């Protein structure tokens, strides 16, 4: 990447922005630091029920088990400006991807994609919503979003 290229800016989007996308944000932040890469990273939800709230307690506990504190994150809803500000927007599942396509303004510049399309062997799959399950579901979420974060870092290094 040339030095004059703008910083890659990556947004993760799920439904509530309190379970899956904050974990994806945390995983990529940690991997970017480890790789010495400067990235603009954020997460948002297509829904507005949890705007201003911290991540779900189970998501916070999962991140903490992996050495990351996400208690300062706050839920927010996707905005039209996000489609211009971010170079890449990754949806955590197919419904959120279709909703993003519907919400994208005519002058959107961001590339939209399904997050697990980044991961060998998981292309086309959704990161399942762990909200209505137990804490073990959040660990599966973590493993999936962390694999995607590793793949994103690989892609940016290439």
Residues that bind ligand 4NP (CB under 6 A): 14-20, 45, 49, 129, 131
Phi-psi region of 121 (alpha: psi -120 to 50; beta: other; left: phi over 0): left
Please say which residue, 31 or 50, places its beta carbon nearer to ligand 4NP. Answer: 50
How far is the C-alpha of 47 from the C-alpha of 67, rounded, in Å?
28
Q: Report the residue number whose CB is nearest to ligand 4NP.
A: 16
> Which among 100, 96, 46 is positioned nearest to 76, based on CA atoms?
46
Q: Which is nearer to ligand 4NP, 18 or 27 (CB)?
A: 18
d(CA 19, CA 24): 9
Q: How far apart are CA 58 and CA 136, in angstroms?
A: 9
- CB closer to ligand 4NP out of 29 and 84: 29
Closest distance of CB 52 from ligand 4NP, Å: 14
Nearest approach, Cβ of 17 to ligand 4NP (angstroms)? 5
Q: Give catalytic residues, as residue numbers.
A: 14, 20, 129
Q: In what order do the strands lie in the sheet with 88-91?
A: 40-45, 9-14, 88-91, 111-114
Q: How far is the CB of 122 from ligand 4NP (least distance, A)?
A: 17
The dihedral formed by the CA atoms of 62, 64, 68 and 73, expressed in degrees to the nearest 10:
70
**Least distance from C-beta 14 to ligand 4NP, angstroms?**
3
**Which of 15/115 has CB closer to ligand 4NP?**
15
């Amino acid at each position: 990447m040339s030095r004059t290229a703008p910083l890659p800016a990556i947004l993760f989007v799920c439904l509530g922005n309190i379970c899956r996308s904050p974990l994806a944000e945390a995983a990529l932040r940690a991997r970017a630091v480890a790789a010495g890469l400067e990235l603009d990273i954020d997460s948002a939800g297509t829904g507005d029920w949890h705007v201003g709230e911290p991540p779900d307690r189970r998501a916070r506990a999962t991140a903490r088990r992996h050495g990351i504190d996400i208690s300062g994150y706050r839920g927010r809803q996707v905005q039209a400006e996000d489609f211009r500000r971010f170079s890449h927007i990754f949806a955590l599942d197919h419904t959120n991807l279709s909703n993003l396509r519907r919400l994208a303004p005519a002058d959107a510049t961001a590339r939209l994609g399904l997050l697990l399309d980044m991961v060998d062997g998981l292309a086309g799959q959704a990161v399942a919503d762990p909200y209505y399950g137990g804490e073990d579901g959040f660990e599966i979420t973590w493993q999936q979003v962390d694999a995607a974060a590793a793949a994103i870092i690989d892609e940016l290094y290439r």
